[in-house]
Amino acid sequence: MLTSQSFVAYDHNNQYNQFLKEGLQCQEFISSQPVNALQQQLIFSPSEQVVHPQPIIDSIVLQHILPSEHDDDHQLISSYQWTITFRLKLHSDASGDWRCLFHYGNTDLIRQPALWLSPYENTLHCRVDTTLNNNEGFDSNQRLNNYQSWYHVALVYYDTYQILYVDGKCDQIGKFGGVLKRTSNQTFRIFASPGGYSQGDVEVKYFRMYNRALSPNDIQIDMKSDKPLTTSSVPMMSSYNTQSCDRLLKQDLKKMLNMHEFSNVLLKFSETDQVIRANDIMLSARSEYFRKVLSKEWNDSNGVEFTPTRPKVIEMQGLSYQAVKAVVHYIYTGELDNELKDNTGKESTIPVLLEILKTGNLLLLTDMEHLVTDVLTSKIDTKNVCTILNEIYVYQVTSLNTFCLEYIVRHFKIIPIDDFLKLDQETQKQILVGIQMSK
């Protein structure tokens, strides 16, 4: 069922007026009659999907969408927003298989979004593609172990965020380095996946897709109602011009990365002939490390001005070219480079990301650490989590350290024992205590 008229495609000329006209829409793929995953898998072609994610064309204040403790982050990038909600009942204990709940995408590697129940435990494995990584996401903190009871699950997708609610309470928030992807003309599956994952012994009812991000208050109303929402507490418009100005400013700052006529600092590396050119004002304004280095050089220069033809040379000893290049990109734009590559030209690997994390740590860029942590957590699995935990110990990145510890506790049964034994004894003790407390 639809709560309003069919969704109309947007273009750049009419999107502002169309946004006001259309408002909140919902397509209910499963209504009050539950569907059992072992008995029926639902597949919806593009033509059967009437409601689609809405472009974000305005700087909607995020405190309306994020839980209150996260409402201080208002850095938005123009992208898409949508929400999926449903009721879920489990009939049996966890198996050793990935059990697909839904999947949007024509191939297994397109997950825009996708959701599974994790093997050996009933946690929700939430995945979504972004412009930086085609497999972002997290596992729910809560285990769904109350069999024969209905859970309310809601997933909100907005710009760089994926937010999970279980029974109306915020369980996890993922803020990713890239914005969420949404490719058109893809098949939407419930209890099925192009990758051939198994079906769990579960039932679903009231499966709804909204074309906008719902607020925590909206989630509460959806959870208690047998009918889809027709209005949202999130304001539709606030500061369209501000959003446009922010976007233009960010585009101009990206251009400055390659405008060497203003670059009066040269970053050099001992292991390569490559250099990075930058502007001293940009570096000192955004990095405490560079501010201290350049302040000393200014004081010692006896009034000699740094220029593009006579730049200040800074030796980046012990740091890699690729990592510092990523740092400079962040200094100029506030973002991680969407085209981050390793030395072979391949997509950024975990060693590359760890090197960037190390560099950001040494250059005192705490906010950048958070972005790299988000990307790293999306790449963590049972085969690499112990290695990552060992690598980050010296950097004191608390959030990533905590994530790795909790991940090992949740997946301990399938963590390679040799990897676990390579951890220091204090870390092993923390993990074993966590396992005991989780029982």
Maximum C-alpha span of the chain: 80
* pLDDT (mean) for 209-216: 93
For residue 148, CA distances in Å to 92, 95, 97, 134, 145 come to 9, 17, 20, 34, 9
Look at residue 191 and tell me whether its pLDDT is greater than 90: yes
Residue 40's CB is within 10 A of a number of other CB atoms, namely: 12
What single letter denotes the amino acid at residue 404? C
* pLDDT (mean) for 101-109: 95
Contact predicate 212/84, CB 8 Å = no
* Token output for 293: 């280095």
How many CA atoms within 13 Å lie on the side-chain side of 51?
Answer: 23
Question: What's the CA gap between 153 and 165, in Å, rounded?
Answer: 6
* pLDDT (mean) for 94-101: 90
Contact predicate 180/77, CB 8 Å = no
Q: How confident is the model at residue 21 (pLDDT cuts 50, 70, 90)?
A: very low
Contact predicate 294/253, CB 8 Å = no
User: Mean pLDDT over all residues of the chain?
Assistant: 83
Question: What's the CA gap between 124 and 164, in Å, rounded?
Answer: 9
Closest by CA position to 145, among listed 71, 93, 208: 93
Q: What's residue 243's pLDDT?
A: 52
Contact predicate 46/187, CB 8 Å = yes
* pLDDT (mean) for 421-431: 93
Residue 113: is the preceding peptide bond cis (ω within 30°)?
yes
Question: What's the CA gap between 229 and 1, in Å, rounded?
Answer: 12
* pLDDT (mean) for 388-393: 88
Topology of the domain covering 15-240: Jelly Rolls (2.60.120)
